[in-house]
Amino acid sequence: MTRVVISDPTLRDGSHAIRHQLTTAQISSYCAAAEESGMPIVEVGHGNGIGASSLQLGESLLSDREMLQTARGKLLNSKLGIHIIPGFATIKRDLSMAIDCGVDVIRVGCHATEADITCRHISYARQRGREVYGVLMMSHMAAPDKLLEESRKMESYGAEAVILMDSAGAFLPNDVKQRISLLNEGLGISVGFHAHNNLGLAIANSIAAVESGASIIDGTARGFGAGAGNAQLEVLVAVFEKLNYSTGIDLYKVMDAAEYAEKEILEVIPFVKSTSIVSGLAGVFSGFAIHVNRVASQYGVDPRDIFFELGRRKVVAGQEDLIIEVATELAGEKDKG
């Protein structure tokens, strides 16, 4: 039976959906439930990763250290993971601290064409004896050959796996198959996939990834995440079991963890809204949804128009200030009309 490693970023990617306001009680209880289910990896932190709490990206209720120490206290067998983006996080201030807190798995992310910036962070984490993955975000914005080229860079820096992140939920299953197959054949390390559900395809795309050779798959409780959310964790576990893939996760207990998340953490269960569909079609980061909807209401413009214009400008995470610029321009055009 083929083994699939499930990584659970409910307490990281899901943080986008609640404005990064996770409490110690929520982190502690969810980690205990995930541990009980046999979850291989539980990812914790600000939605944009360790070191990303800011006025521009949203301030976390808790410090990175508080979140990691709380999670570490409950994760005895499950590995504690983090996401880290060079530029938001430094080695000295953030990565070193996280390792000192007992982090096991470090995922170093960057835009799909910028693997060069991950070299120092990946190398440092490997030197400290941690398991390290490279993450290519917004992977729909790069051609398959380019993704392979960037992945090989991460492999050369010491990454033990490369994860393709469909940050905008823009892929169709054939897109996933083409890219994962290429990486699986062209790399000497493991390949993983992180789906978003903007077009309602997160589960289908995750299955396509595994059938094409991916061995690491991300999923969140109830699909918890920005906009339409992520691949729904408990569904992934059930479907992989049905397809005869081994996850090592107790289905009933991961369902119990999802029940807790729904009752005590989620404000709204993610679903595919009109703006989610547009975000996927436009290829815009799912985490922009809250900001786009707020700014659209403020400026009296259609949020769908904002998404399509952001897509035309090829905007990526960290450029949230452009949402207001686009809304202002659209409002001006509306007034002229």
What would the DSSP string read from start to end of 64-78? Answer: HHHHHHHHHTT-SSS
The per-residue pLDDT for range 211-239, each reduced to its tens digit, is: 999 999 999 999 999 889 999 999 999 99
Better-scored residue on pLDDT, 70 or 55: 70
Give the model's confidence band at 337: pLDDT under 50 very low, under 70 low, under 90 confident, else very high: low
Q: pLDDT at residue 286 above 80?
A: no
Cα 220 from chain centroid (whole Å): 9
Tokens of 99: 């390792």
Judging by DSSP bridges, how do beta strands 131-137 and 161-165 pair with one another?
parallel
The per-residue pLDDT for range 32-69, each reduced to its tens digit, is: 999 999 999 999 999 999 999 998 889 999 999 999 99
Pick the CATH number of 2-264 from 3.20.20.70, 1.10.1610.10, 1.20.1560.10, 2.40.10.10: 3.20.20.70
* Side-chain-side CA neighbours of residue 146 (13 Å): 14
Angstrom distance (rounded) from CA 263 to CA 303: 29
Beta bridge partners of 83: 107
Question: H helices of 77-187, where?
Answer: 96-100, 119-127, 144-157, 173-186
Q: pLDDT at residue 240 above 80?
A: yes
Q: What is the pLDDT of residue 291?
A: 86
Angstrom distance (rounded) from CA 314 to CA 196: 18
Q: What is the pLDDT of residue 232?
A: 98
Residue type, 202: A
Percent of the chain with pLDDT over 90: 91
Q: What is the pLDDT of residue 335?
A: 74
Q: Of 207, 208, 263, whose CA–CA distance to 237 is shortest? A: 207
Give the model's confidence band at 321: pLDDT under 50 very low, under 70 low, under 90 confident, else very high: confident
The region of weakest confidence among 36-50, 87-101, 113-127, 291-305 is: 291-305
Q: pLDDT at residue 207 above 90?
A: yes
- 144 exposed, middle or buried (CB, 10 Å; 0-12, 13-18, 19+)? middle
Q: How far is CA 37 from CA 25, 265, 308, 310, in A?
A: 18, 18, 40, 40
Tokens of 196: 């978003």
Q: What is the pLDDT of residue 89?
A: 96
Residues 170-198 have a mean pLDDT of 98
Give the position of tokens 């990617």. 13
Q: How far is CA 225 from CA 40, 145, 159, in A?
A: 20, 29, 26
Residues 268-293 have a mean pLDDT of 90
Q: What is the pLDDT of residue 226?
A: 85
Please say whether the structural domain 274-336 has been given the CATH code 3.90.1150.10.
no
Q: What is the pLDDT of residue 124?
A: 98
Give catalytic status of residue 196 as yes or no: no
Better-scored residue on pLDDT, 285 or 71: 71
Angstrom distance (rounded) from CA 258 to CA 224: 9
Domain coordinates of the chain in residue numbers? Answer: 2-264, 274-336
Q: pLDDT at residue 192 above 80?
A: yes
Catalytic residue among 16, 46, 194, 291: 16
Give the position of tokens 């120490």. 69
